[in-house]
């Protein structure tokens, strides 16, 4: 799972960490979900994200824009629970890289998923259990994840609110 943005409350990154913790607990209960969270960006909540996830998360800090393409290309899934954006470029970048996106329904990013569960997943909740439930099928089903990423890549990326 990839997150790109400031690691602070404005991007709601702790919701991602909490959802990942729910998924980690499911792994411990033998439900088979394997994953790693990669966070690109800096911010005040880095320690709060790292502590509960331990070795399931890597925070690589700030990365030059020209290197982000390789990071998107090497990821399987983009998760962006921010509620503070009107048109988040990182969602467009993830879609352009062919990644399925899981995004907040309370944010301008929702405009980039035309058909939820087909070209992205829009989550209309602030509950980590709901976010984990939205992410889990993408972890378990590589063909679904790839199909969704292909759809995300094919749909035009320039839309306005």
Q: What is the pLDDT of residues 120-154, one digit of tens each?
A: 899 999 999 999 999 999 987 889 888 888 888 77
**Coil/strand/helix, residue 149:** helix
Tell me the domain boundaries of the chain.
2-154
Which pair of tokens denotes residue 159? Answer: 């839309």
CATH topology for 2-154?
Rossmann fold (3.40.50)
Q: Is the dihedral of CA 113, 114, 119, 122 positive or negative?
A: positive
CA distances from 78 to 29, 30, 133, 135 (A): 25, 24, 15, 10
What lies within 8 Å, CB to CB, of 51 at 6+ separation is: none
d(CA 116, CA 86): 18
What pLDDT, in 10s, does the model give residues 106-119?
A: 987 777 776 666 77
* Global pTM value: 0.89
pLDDT tens per residue, range 75-93: 999 999 999 887 889 998 9
């Amino acid at each position: 799972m990839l997150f790109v943005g400031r690691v602070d409350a404005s991007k709601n990154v702790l919701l991602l960490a909490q959802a990942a913790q729910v998924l980690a607990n499911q792994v411990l209960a033998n439900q088979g979900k394997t994953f790693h969270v990669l966070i690109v960006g800096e911010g005040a909540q880095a320690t709060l994200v790292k502590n509960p996830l331990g070795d399931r998360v890597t925070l690589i800090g700030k990365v030059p824009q020209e290197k982000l393409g390789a990071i998107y290309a090497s990821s399987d899934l983009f998760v962006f629970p921010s509620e503070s954006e009107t048109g988040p470029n990182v969602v467009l970048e993830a879609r352009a890289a062919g990644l399925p996106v899981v995004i907040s329904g309370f944010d301008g990013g929702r405009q980039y998923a035309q058909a939820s569960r087909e070209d992205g997943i829009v989550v209309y909740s602030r509950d980590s259990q709901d976010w984990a439930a939205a992410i889990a099928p993408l972890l378990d089903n590589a063909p679904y994840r790839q199909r969704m990423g292909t759809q995300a890549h094919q749909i035009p990326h320039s839309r306005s609110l």
